[in-house]
Structures are given as C-alpha cells and as structure tokens.
Amino acid sequence: MAKYRDLILEIIKASSGHMTAEAIYLEAKKLQPSIAVGTVYRNLRLMTEAGEIKRVVMANSPDIFDISTHPHAHLICQKCHTIADFSISNLEEHLQKLTGLEILGYDLNVRYICNICKKKGIG
C-alpha cells in the first residue's frame, strides 16, 4: 500500500522542491504509465493532511506542493510564477507577540520579478 506516495515524494524532491499536481502527474506517468490523475491528487491531499508536504496556494496559478514543511516564506515571480524559498527567522514568534494570539502557522508569499524575467524585459 501507499504505492505511489514515495514515488510522488521522490519526484518533488528531484525537482526544485515545488511542483504543481499536473507536473507531478506527468512525471509520475513517465515511470508508471498506468497512474491516474485522481490518484495523484488523492495522494497529494493525504500527504498534505499528514503534514508530509505543504500545499502552497497562490493567485493566478494552480496550487503548488512544497517538499519542505518547516515554516518559511515564498518568493513568487509575477511573470513566470517560479517559486523560491527563503526563511525569516522567528517570524512565527514575532507574529505571536504582535497579535497576542496562539498562531498555528502562516503563509507568506512575496511578489517580485525574478532576474530571468527582468532581463526578458516588459512583455
């Protein structure tokens, strides 16, 4: 059982660490041609709920699954939608102090234009 869990984990790891469900499905299909989209989504959902991976929700593009589950922020290029991780030390504690609330976690997406897209210019 959990036949495809490890496969999916390996695929995400082998990438930059951030992949859409569709990209994972296409990769998985190369190795296991009989795999169905539903299976990929189902496993991604279960793995997310189990805390093995993290789902990143962004504007204007499908959800991304992130191999690293520790708290960190995402730099998101507004043109190519590529994601880069970066961590801000003690942000969770800082938020906790600021709000006086019991924080469960945070999602921080920082918008910018990556260097590659910048060089390509406007358009």
| 95 lines the binding site for a second copy (CB under 8 A) | yes
Name the one range near DNA by CB under 7 A: 11-19, 57-65, 92-100, 111-119. 57-65
Name the binder of 14 from a second copy, DNA, none, CB < 5-8 A by kind. none
Angle 53-57-59 (CA atoms, 0-180°, nearest 5)?
Answer: 155
Please state, in angstroms and rounded to a whole number, the distance separating the CA atoms of residues 109 and 77. 10
Give the shortest CB-80-to-DNA separation in angstroms: 14
Residues 11 to 40: which contact DNA by CB under 7 A?
Answer: 20-22, 32, 34-39
> Euclidean distance between the first and final Cα of the chain, in Å?
48
| 43 lines the binding site for DNA (CB under 7 A) | yes
Helix (H) or strand (E) holding 121: none
Q: Is 17 left (phi over 0), alpha (psi -120 to 50) or beta?
A: left
Residues 55 to 74: which contact a second copy by CB under 8 A?
Answer: 55, 57-59, 73
Please state, in angstroms and rounded to a whole number, the distance separating the CA atoms of residues 121 and 44. 36
> Considering only CA atoms, which of 110, 113, 2, 105 is closest in space to residue 47?
2
Q: Which is nearer to a second copy, 3 or 94 (CB)?
A: 94
Q: What is the binding site for a second copy (CB under 8 A)?
A: 55, 57-59, 73, 75, 78, 86, 88, 95, 98-99, 101-113
Q: What is the binding site for DNA (CB under 7 A)?
A: 1-5, 20-22, 32, 34-39, 41-45, 61-63
